[in-house]
Amino acid sequence: MCFAGSVGHTLLQALAAYGEYVRFIKAIEDEGGTISSRELEGYFYQGKEVDVWIERFSLKGKKDNYIASIRAKDGNYTELADSRFSTDLHKVLLWARKELDFNPCVFGEVDLSQAKAEAAIRGEGAELYIAGYIMLELGYIVSVASPNMPGYDLIVVDPQTQKSCRLQVKYRSNNTASLKFSSLDFDFLILVDKPYHEVKDISPDGGSSLRPIAKFDVWVLSREWVATRRKANGHLSNPRYLQHYHDWSKIVDFLSVDSSD
């Protein structure tokens, strides 16, 4: 049985939310970066009601780090226990689940018992992210393929040449993970890794503020490259090589007019 904590009052008052699993509120500036925080209410620790704080530390040039802490409802937010820092938010939440009474599985927007449902949301989000990127950056027309097409997710069309290509999009929360294919019915594989946050100094109106901006590592692999390296069981070992990193020229060349045309 899962015990769900409810969202309580936040550490900071803000209108905007930053989303990555737990939706963090507007960040405060810290030395060399930002700290984004959420306070969650409705949990119990050693028989007493407590709050759970989830924090994300985004520093320039470094990976995001997460930490969870269990705090007393005594007006001073006395810290009773905390996890170790981790680049994996999931590990931090699992620590909180283990430490708290009743082993809750809901933390803000995250339900640890619904991993498959959340993975489906992230997967669809990756497809829409890639579709939007290609349309805005490359100027191609992109449509979502029918769910009955198991080999590809997006169809990209060059409005000038009328040529098209099929993209399979895969999202991974572990940036060292291997992949498995049931079909090679695509022209390009697009691998999207979980976001990290780049700390930027924003000053559009004369003021200045550090903000964590979500960034995604994207790998563009041709079908031919995948086919020659895929194992007999359908697995492809970690394909994150420099030659594939944001290499959109593969798609541009594929959709270009042949010299023989």
Between strands 17-20 and 22-25, the pairing is: antiparallel
pLDDT digits (tens, 9 = 90+) for 116-173: 777 788 889 999 999 999 999 999 999 999 887 778 999 999 999 999 999 999 998 8
Helix (H) or strand (E) holding 155, with range, is: strand 154-157
Share of residues in the chain with pLDDT > 90 (%): 52
Q: How many residues in total does the chain contain?
A: 261
Please compute the mean of the pLDDT values over residues 66-81 and round it to a whole number.
94
Look at residue 21 and tell me whether its pLDDT is greater than 70: no
What pLDDT, on the 0 to 100 scale, is given for residue 159? 95
> From residue 154, how far is each of 137, 145, 215, 253 by CA, in Å?
16, 5, 21, 18
| Residue pair 96/68 in contact by the 8 Å Cβ criterion | yes
What pLDDT, on the 0 to 100 scale, is given for residue 4? 43
Please compute the mean of the pLDDT values over residues 84-94 and round it to a whole number.
90
Look at residue 97 and tell me whether its pLDDT is greater than 90: yes
Question: What does the longest C-alpha to C-alpha distance in the chain come to?
Answer: 77
Indicate the DSSP class of residue 4.
B
| Residue pair 24/18 in contact by the 8 Å Cβ criterion | yes
**Other beta carbons less than 10 A from residue 130's beta carbon:** 22
Indicate the DSSP class of residue 55.
E
Which residues, listed in sequence order, are joined to residue 235 by a DSSP beta bridge? Answer: 180
Which candidate, 96, 91, 85, 86, places its Cα nearest to that of 39?
A: 96
Which candidate, 182, 175, 108, places its Cα nearest to that of 151?
A: 182
